[in-house]
A = this chain, B = another copy of it.
């Protein structure tokens, strides 16, 4: 723990002099107007904290791509009145106002299909998240879900007809997949579509209340069109889930015939998004509105598809959700960055309790417990930034061959990073004490919004899917007697790593040990999961049910798989860098990331990867790393490059922001 700086001692003696000055006057009974200068002084942390590495260089490393686009959009937001600038404590802050005017940067959003175009899109979504989750969800629904569905499920006829109008907001799209009766389980949806060859139309129907489309972002007020997911029946037989385009409102916003829409009701958080419910009463749409990249129906009513297996067809339909997962993973880390920047800045200006009566009060971040609360989360966030950059690259360079791996990694990262973000927000809020409760503090808003983001509910389902995919790969590699390829399991082709019996600090900090212990754990858990499932099967359970019974190992395995993938991206980002102060700090962060994973995961002890003594050494190392990272805390959050205006008054002069003179009388 750093000792209190001399400036803090000055401050205390200054406060003592203020108090005694007051006491000398206090027998004077006349009213004394308070001087605003007579105050516990706020001291900007920049004055006392050191910067030992190049913050701009770190920022470039973190942001990875499209630097100018980020700066341009953030600058635009700060200058525009649309983003409700407010003055507090002598600084300007922007905050959500749920308006939609993003026309300037929509151009090329869907029609620019180059790699650069895709990277730019993801960058801008990231920046929008800094400002407001509701807005990013709305943009996400219109461009990524509606627009993405047309792009990926549709063919040329759909692209020509819809993409330009989508970019120009002439149509406003939504995405009607989930139903009241079926959320995560899309395969079970009950909406029914049939084909009428007399008129060349599809007829979409909601046969029962549980089939109402539910929780559809944008549907309640604004959307003119929707993608409808529905069971397709041809000549009485079910061809499975397909996607259609249906108009739900005319251009004046009037509801179309045979469409009924209701609001989902008041939600806490994300009220900026108009979630709605839709009923289709035998709505007729042209045959051409079937999004036919996977399957088509001929004018005379024949079902045509090159993919014969309905399961594969279904998988093809879910593919565009990948973009959603990539966005959410990135957005979660973005929101973690903001909350850490606020909480750490505050902890460098707020003091509480003296260690002894004669000593000054201690800065929050100089408490070992406060360091332990925030700094491991900071290290994790750094690690996950590199992982998001990796995921982005895998996404924009995807090919049919990498799709499976993309699916698995994006599922795992989405679940892990949203969980990380929930926890970070909660810890940061608590670390800000009473100040963390105010709306202006942003933290609470981010938390409520995230809490209310519908996809959150399926994290455990996603994790189990990841492990099922790894299990399938494991079984198939064993059967084929071939090495693992793809999915990141290549490390299992070699012999099992051996961990030293006695872990000194220098071993704990070595790259070899760090990768070895993560690989060892992953390899062992995959084997345990496979054994557990086959044991249940041997006892007569179906395979599907056996997997359900092994859910604990499944969730553990998926977590362990992600943690190793994240670490790998950290290594790769680190090795490109030349020796120097920046690389030293990266090394501390990386080791902290590994140590905190080791400390928090009981499997290391549960399955004996670490002895009791070594687990104790790990815990000690975490505390040591806390004090080594403490001096870099301010530089590390400054490197996030988030403009002050996007943070909160408590990240700056919170005394001034709370002063009487700042009250609107």
List residues of A whose CB falls within 8 A of some B CB. 1, 18-19, 22-23, 26-27, 29, 31-34, 36, 38-40, 178, 180-185, 188, 190, 192, 194, 196, 198-199, 203, 205-212, 214-215, 233, 236, 258, 260, 262, 264-269, 277, 279, 281-282, 352-356, 361, 367-369, 372, 426, 429-430, 433-434, 436-440, 444-445, 447-448, 451-452, 454, 456-457, 460, 464, 542, 544-545, 548-549, 551-552, 602, 605-608, 612, 615-616, 619, 655-656, 658-660, 663
Contact = CB atoms under 8 A, between A and B. Distances in A.
Contact of A602 (B212, B551, B602): B602
A190 B16 CA distance: 11
A658 B551 contact: no
B434 A18 contact: no
A205 B281 contact: no
A439 B215 CA distance: 14
- Please classify the interface of chain A as helix (H, G, I), strand (E, B), loop, or mixed, using the class held by over half of its residues: mixed
Given A184-B433, A265-B438, 20 more contacts: A19-B207, A23-B233, A29-B198, A32-B281, A34-B207, A40-B190, A182-B352, A183-B433, A185-B353, A266-B439, A268-B437, A277-B658, A355-B544, A368-B551, A369-B464, A369-B548, A372-B552, A434-B454, A447-B451, A606-B615
Count of this chain's copies in the oligomeric assembly? 2
B353 A208 contact: no
Contacts of A39: 208-210
B372 A551 contact: yes
Contacts of A260: 660
Given A542-B356, A544-B355, A23 B605 contact: no
B180 A658 contact: yes
Given A40-B181, A183-B434, A352-B182, A548 B368 contact: yes
Contact of A207 (B22, B180, B368, B605): B22
A469 B68 CA distance: 57
Given A266-B438, A608-B612, A194 B23 contact: yes
A29 to B, nearest CB: 7
Contacts of A282: 26, 29, 31-32
Nearest to A197: B27
Contacts of A180: 655, 658
B658 A368 contact: no
Nearest to A545: B355
Nearest to A351: B181
A655 B210 contact: yes
Contact of A23 (B29, B192, B265, B551): B192
18 contacts: A18-B208, A19-B207, A23-B192, A29-B282, A38-B208, A40-B190, A40-B209, A180-B655, A181-B655, A262-B660, A267-B444, A268-B437, A279-B660, A437-B454, A444-B451, A605-B605, A606-B612, A608-B612
Contact of A279 (B34, B194, B454): B34
Nearest to A182: B352
A285 to B, nearest CB: 14
Contacts of A544: 355-356
